Amino acid sequence: MRDPHQAHPIENGKAVFNDVTFPINPMIGVIGVAPEKGKSVPCGYPGSHGGNLDCKLMVKGNTAYFPVRVEGGLVQMGDMHAVMGDSELCGTGLEINGTVIARVSVIKNCPLEWPVLETADTWYTMASAAGYEEALRHASVQMQGLVAAATGWDATDAYLYMSLRGDLEVCQACKPCEVDLIVRLGVPKADMKRPLVG
C-alpha cells in the first residue's frame, strides 16, 4: 500500500490532486472551549464543548456558539484544512497552516448543551457520540428546544417542524476509528421568528 501522506499543491485558490483540480474552502477542524471543570478531552476528540468537530462549514463569515462551563471559556482552535468533504471519510482533510482572526464575546443565560453554528441561511446544532443514534438524539433535543423557544411552538410542533424542514448532515464519520461520529442538524433561518441563539 502506498503512503497516504502526500503533499498536494495549492495554486490560485485551487487544490491539485493527481489530475483533478478543485476550489479550496479553508476551514477550522478543531474549535471550542474547555470542557466542564475536572474533565480532560484530548485535542483530537469532539464533545459538547466543541473540539475536533471537523465541520466543513466552520469557515470565514460563519458564527459558532459554544456552551461555556469554566471561567473564561478558554477558547482554542486549530487543525486547519484547505478543503475537506463531509464525513472526513479516511480521517484527513488537505491539511494547511493558517492564521485565524476571530471575535469572541459572551452571551449570558444562553441554554446551550452542544455547539451551534450559524451560516448565512441556516442554524445548525452539532453533536457527537460513539454511535449515530446518540449523536442524532443530542443534536435533535437541542434543536427542538431552540426552535420551540424561537417560534413559541410547543415541543411537539417543534419536533414535527424539524422532520419537515430539518436536514441532517455528517461532519465526521471516519470509521473504524475511536473518535466519535459528529453530526449537524440544520433548519432554515428564514423560518425562525427570531435567532435561535443570541
Give the pLDDT band (50/70/90) at residue 2. Answer: low
| CA gap 168, 151 in Å, rounded | 20
| CA gap 89, 61 in Å, rounded | 25
pLDDT value for 40? 83
pTM (whole model) above 0.85: yes
Hey, which residues does 59 pair with through a beta bridge?
A: 27
Residue 71 has pLDDT above 80, yes or no: yes
Amino acid sitting at position 5: H
Amino acid sitting at position 96: I
| CA gap 134, 145 in Å, rounded | 17
| CA gap 36, 116 in Å, rounded | 17
Amino acid sitting at position 49: H
pLDDT value for 132? 94
| CATH class of the region 10-191 | alpha beta
Q: What is the per-residue pLDDT across 149-195, written as a single tens digit (0 to 9) for each?
A: 999 999 999 999 999 999 999 999 887 888 899 999 999 999 999 99
Residue 1 has pLDDT above 70, yes or no: no
Furthest C-alpha separation in the chain: 56
Going by the DSSP 8-state scheme, the letter that residue 32 receives in this structure is E
Residue 67 has pLDDT above 90, yes or no: yes
Question: In 3D, which of 186, 153, 156, 152 has the Cα closest to residue 169?
Answer: 186
